[in-house]
C-alpha cells in the first residue's frame, strides 16, 4: 500500500495477474491521485480481507482461478451493499456485463478500454460512496452548525428538522433560572434533553436526578428536602435532601405527572418561592438548584380529571420541550439502527453486522410504542443471536408481532397482541375490489415499494401480492381514458 491516503479507505484490486495489478496501480496513482491501494492475487482471500479491512471500492477481475469474479460479486454485493464493485475483464461480453450489473456491480469495463474511461468510472464510484457518507453525517448534524453548544446535544442522534429546532430552543432557555418541562412518550429520550439543558445552563455543576413515580408524600418530602435531627424515630442526625445536593446545578425530577396532590403543593412552593422546609424543621432553606422536570403522561388530561393542579401546570409551562415519538420521525430509525448495531457489537465482542437494506423499511412500519428504548432492545436482542455477516430480520419480526418466515415468501400476520388500527370510511363505502386495491396501494406506500414487507402487512404471500399488482396494472391499462 502507498503512503498516500487518498481515498481515506483503500481501493481493493483483485486480479490473479500481478503485472496487470501493478499497471493498474500506477495508473490510479499517476492519473487519479489514488495511492491508498490494496492488491489481492488470490480470489479466495477477498472475503477475509473485507471482513477485517473496510474499503472504498473493489476492482474485480472477472476471470480468475478458484473463484471467478461473478462468483465473488454474488457474495460481496449482498454482504457489503455499501461497497461499490467494478468488474474488469479481458473480453467484451455484453451478456456477462448485463449479468454483472443485475448482480449488483457498480460498473463494467474491458481491460483494453481507454484509461480515461476506467478512471472516470473509479472516480464516480468513490464519489458516490463519499456522498453517501457525507449525507449520513449531514443527517445527524443538520442545523447544528449554528448551535453555540453542539457538544451538549451530541448524544441525541437525529436528522429530524423539528428535533433540530428543539436544540435551538433548548440553548435559549437553558441559561435561565426558570423550570423546564420536558414531555414525550416513554423512551423518546427525555433525560438526554434534560442533561443537555444542564450542560448548556450549568456546565460543571452538580447533576442530581430522581424518578418520583410511586413516592408517597412523606418519602417525597424527605428525599427532596431532607430532614432535621429528631424529625422522626431514627433520625439521629440531620440529612440534606436532593435540593441541597443539587445547589448551583440541576435537579431533574422524572415522572412528575404521577405526583400526589399533596406532593404537588410542596413542589409548587419550591418552584414559586424558591425555598423549602426540611422535614421536622421550622426554618426554611433557600434553593439554589435549577429544576428540570419530565413526564410521559398527558398533563392536560390529568388537569381535566382533577389529578393535577392547574397552578402547578401553568408554572411548569414557562419553558416546555415536547419530544415527538419515533414513529413521527422515521428517518431517524436508520441512524439509530446503525448506532445501536455498533454498541451491541461492542458489548457482545462481535464484528458489527451488516443490516439488510429492507430492515429500515420494515422498522418504519412499526409504531414503536416503546420508542428509542424499544428499538435499542430489538437491536441488542438481534445481535445477541447473530452469527453471520448479514443481520437476520427474524428477531425484529418476532418483536413486532409478525411471523418470522417472510423471507420464504409466506405471509406475515399480526401476533396475538399485535396492534390493530381502525379504518375510516366516507359516506360511500368502496366495493370489495376497490377496497382491496386501496389496501394494496397503502401497503406498498408504507413499505416503500418492498413487496415482501407489504405482503406481510396484508397477511398474504408475496406471489399473491405480485399477482394482484399485475392485475391492477392490466386493469389500469385496459381502462378507457
* 180-225 per-position pLDDT tens digit: 999 999 999 999 999 999 999 999 999 999 999 989 999 999 999 9
CA distances from 152 to 170, 171, 186, 245, 451 (A): 10, 9, 22, 22, 41
Cell of 112: 483494453
Predicted confidence (pLDDT) per residue in 376-407, tens digit: 999 999 999 888 778 888 889 888 887 554 43
Between 326 and 229, where is the model more confident? Answer: 326
pLDDT of residue 400: 86
Domain 421-481 has CATH 1.10.10: yes
pTM: 0.63
Q: Packing angle between helix 432-446 and helix 462-478, nearest 10 degrees? A: 120
Locate the domains of the chain by residue range: 11-139, 147-324, 421-481
- For CA atoms 66, 71, 73, 75, give the dihedral sign: negative
Beta bridge partner(s), residue 82: none
**Does the pLDDT at position 257 exceed 80?**
yes
Beta bridge partner(s), residue 107: 86
Segment 259-266 long-range contacts (CB within 8 Å, at least 24 positions apart): 259/212, 259/215, 259/220, 260/216, 260/217, 260/220, 261/307, 261/309, 262/217, 263/212, 263/215, 263/217, 263/220, 263/221, 264/308, 264/309, 264/312, 265/309, 266/217, 266/220, 266/221, 266/224, 266/225
**Does the pLDDT at position 286 exceed 90?**
no
Cis peptide before 7 (omega within 30 of 0): yes
Beta bridge partner(s), residue 209: 252
11-139: CATH topology: Rossmann fold (3.40.50)
Beta bridge partner(s), residue 322: 183
Calpha distance 98→92 (Å, rounded): 11
Predicted confidence (pLDDT) per residue in 65-77, tens digit: 989 998 999 999 8
Q: Are 345 and 379 in contact (CB under 8 A)?
A: no
Identify how many contiguous H helices and E strands the chain contains and give both numbers: 19, 14
Calpha distance 306→253 (Å, rounded): 21
147-324: CATH topology: Rossmann fold (3.40.50)
Judge if 11-139 and 421-481 fold alike in CATH terms: no
Sheet with strand 57-61: strands edge to edge: 37-40, 11-14, 57-61, 85-89, 107-110
Calpha distance 5→26 (Å, rounded): 15
pLDDT of residue 405: 47
pLDDT of residue 134: 59
Predicted confidence (pLDDT) per residue in 84-106, tens digit: 999 998 877 788 888 888 889 99
Between 292 and 366, where is the model more confident? Answer: 292
Amino acid at each position: 500500500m502507498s503512503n498516500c491516503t487518498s481515498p481515506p479507505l483503500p481501493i481493493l484490486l483483485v486480479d490473479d495477474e500481478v503485472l496487470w495489478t501493478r499497471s493498474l496501480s500506477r495508473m490510479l496513482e499517476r492519473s487519479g491521485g489514488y495511492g491508498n491501494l490494496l492488491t489481492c492475487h488470490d480470489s479466495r482471500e477477498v472475503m477475509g480481507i473485507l471482513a477485517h479491512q473496510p474499503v472504498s471500492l473493489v476492482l474485480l477481475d472477472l476471470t480468475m482461478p478458484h473463484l471467478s469474479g461473478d462468483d465473488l460479486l454474488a457474495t460481496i454485493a449482498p454482504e457489503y451493499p455499501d461497497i461499490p464493485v467494478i468488474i474488469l475483464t479481458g473480453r467484451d461480453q455484453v451478456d456477462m456485463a448485463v449479468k454483472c450489473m443485475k448482480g449488483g456491480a457498480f460498473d463494467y469495463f474491458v481491460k483494453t478500454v481507454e484509461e480515461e474511461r476506467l478512471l472516470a468510472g473509479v472516480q464516480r464510484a468513490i464519489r458516490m460512496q463519499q456522498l453517501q457518507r457525507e449525507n449520513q453525517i449531514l443527517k445527524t448534524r443538520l442545523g447544528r452548525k449554528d448551535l453555540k453548544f453542539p457538544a451538549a446535544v451530541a448524544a441525541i442522534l437525529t436528522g429530524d428538522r423539528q428535533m433540530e429546532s428543539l436544540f435551538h430552543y433548548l440553548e435559549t432557555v437553558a441559561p435561565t433560572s426558570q423550570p423546564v418541562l420536558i414531555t414525550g412518550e416513554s423512551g423518546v429520550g427525555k433525560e438526554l434533553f434534560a442533561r443537555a439543558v444542564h450542560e448548556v445552563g450549568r456546565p460543571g455543576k452538580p447533576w442530581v436526578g430522581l424518578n418520583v413515580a410511586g413516592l408517597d408524600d412523606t418519602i417525597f418530602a424527605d428525599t427532596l428536602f431532607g430532614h432535621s435531627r429528631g424529625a422522626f424515630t431514627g433520625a439521629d442526625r440531620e440529612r440534606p435532601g436532593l435540593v441541597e445536593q443539587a445547589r448551583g446545578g440541576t435537579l431533574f425530577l422524572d415522572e412528575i405527572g404521577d405526583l400526589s396532590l399533596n406532593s404537588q403543593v410542596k413542589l409548587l412552593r419550591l418552584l414559586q418561592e424558591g425555598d423549602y422546609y426540611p422535614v421536622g424543621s421550622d426554618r426554611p432553606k433557600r434553593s439554589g438548584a435549577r429544576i428540570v422536570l419530565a413526564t410521559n403522561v398527558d398533563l392536560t388530561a390529568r388537569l381535566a380529571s382533577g389529578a393535577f393542579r392547574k397552578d402547578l401546570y401553568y408554572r411548569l409551562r414557562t419553558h416546555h420541550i415536547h419530544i415527538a415519538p419515533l414513529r413521527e420521525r422515521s428517518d431517524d430509525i436508520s441512524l439509530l439502527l446503525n448506532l445501536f448495531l455498533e454498541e451491541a457489537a461492542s458489548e457482545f465482542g462481535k464484528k458489527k453486522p451488516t443490516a439488510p437494506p429492507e430492515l429500515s423499511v420494515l422498522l418504519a412500519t412499526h409504531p414503536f410504542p416503546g420508542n428509542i428504548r424499544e428499538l435499542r432492545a430489538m437491536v441488542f436482542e438481534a445481535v445477541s443471536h447473530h452469527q453471520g455477516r448479514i443481520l437476520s430480520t427474524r428477531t425484529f419480526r418476532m418483536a413486532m408481532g409478525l411471523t418470522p418466515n417472510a423471507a420464504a415468501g409466506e405471509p406475515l400476520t399480526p401476533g396475538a397482541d399485535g396492534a390493530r388500527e381502525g379504518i375510516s370510511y366516507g359516506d360511500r363505502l368502496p366495493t370489495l375490489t376497490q377496497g382491496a386495491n386501496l389496501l394494496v396501494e397503502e401497503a406498498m406506500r408504507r413499505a416503500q415499494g418492498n413487496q415482501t414487507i407489504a405482503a406481510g402487512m396484508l397477511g398474504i404471500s408475496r406471489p399473491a401480492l405480485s399477482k394482484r399488482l399485475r392485475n391492477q396494472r392490466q386493469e389500469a391499462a385496459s381502462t378507457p381514458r
